[in-house]
Structure 1
């Protein structure tokens, strides 16, 4: 076949176009290979970070990344990294975690955030089910119990009681609660009869004072305590109250507690007015409680007045007396000296 000059030019153009096309295909192939190689170099994994409580700011290699717990950090380069969490008003436990990220895997890191003004407390006893008291206030928890990071930092008075039991020594513990620390206390409780003779325990009570505060008697285990039943229309009661104030002042530094329970007069506000009037007239600073309208008088089988009871640190009766006598103030001091080791 003989091509014309025009045909020869057309054939050259076609071959040129074919060469260009082949060149483009080859170039695209190189680019694809190059891209595959780059992807293969950047190997990544993921880290799931959570905390209790949630809402902590996440740091990756000591730098904030704008994420909060719980969250998953994707596309983290394979290798060693440091994860930490921060939250205002909290300390992180642990401080940080070193983790090795693996390709196409998700690792989990957990933190506990502790309030900087709270610590932990573990309370147990030889008899389970004892009511736990913090700073002479019963709380809705019984032994054994762990208060995890919810006890205010500082010095706390811890005790425990159970109906029908007295306390062994020590009946209370003064502990120091610190952030990121757990204080532990243990109490021994012994079955004891309720009665009116030395060695017995007395009934529990919950009564209100003339300032509006409520007091549960068993919550004061660990303290030497005097209970005094009085009435305004009882002459011997009025004679004894100033002596009790003198004793309270003398033994206040020993942490003596006196509960003066008024059972005379009317119930309610009028009854507390009687208490306030007697407090002012006699210059009394110890705790005065309103017993009118309650079962405390019958529970304690009080039939004559006044009645004065000294109880030891374990809640057991140490001295019980009905009436007031000239020798009584000295006798009460003698018994207190014995209990306080003077």
Structure 2
């Protein structure tokens, strides 16, 4: 019971810290955008921009009030919805209104997020499965052929940029063997309705992302397993007569994978913010591509602000999940 109480207190404390941190991050983002040497109201003007038009754009974008007032309106919109100028109304949770696209930003994000989530989750599963497996195999066969083969994989994976590997996969695999129709490249297929179409669309983008990450995790897992295998508690387990498989599963991996949980959580959170290069190569309309288009083409401030806040929230929430996972993996964390 005492262990459960400690764990509940630890989780409650981390939840409180996460909530406070998210509020601080959201305020900081609003101040950063306010300090930028660019006037969003002027970017929405044509060459015949007049002071009256600029002021009207400023009012329409909600920039005619203080930064804290802008932030407070955003927080209120998340819980109660918000009514914008020109009669636009966005129900809760409201991330803003895009006057360029004449629709609520929440709807735009809802269309892009499943694509980014599919890409990130698929790549995450691939690189963890491949990276940890190869790392363990290399560590248990240190100095042998399998270890040297994994070193070649690590060298290729870390040396090959994502945009190069992605283009090579598109040209010499996807298009050459006509796996996906070029006109359908990047189309969204619901995995619960059309799993085959979803797999054809997302397998190669996920593999492109997973290649670089898997190489890094292979090297990291190998070094952790080798280091952990020389610890006193592993020698004690061997002295008790436990088999190598049991020692690896119950003792070595549990200690060796604890640091990997932190890195994996942060890497996954970063991908949830949008894998810009991979989405661009495979024509996927995810959060990364949406953000780039809003910055470089449409100068759509509500979308830029919302995607930035969303990406920051992913990182903060994944930090919380990693901390909780650490408490289950390593009892010393919750005891402290």
TM-score normalised by structure 2 residue count: 0.19
TM-score normalised by structure 1 residue count: 0.18
Name whichever structure is richer in helix by fraction. 2
Name whichever structure is richer in strand by fraction. 1
Structure label with greater radius of gyration: 1
By relative contact order (CA 8 Å, sep 6+), the higher-ranking structure is 2
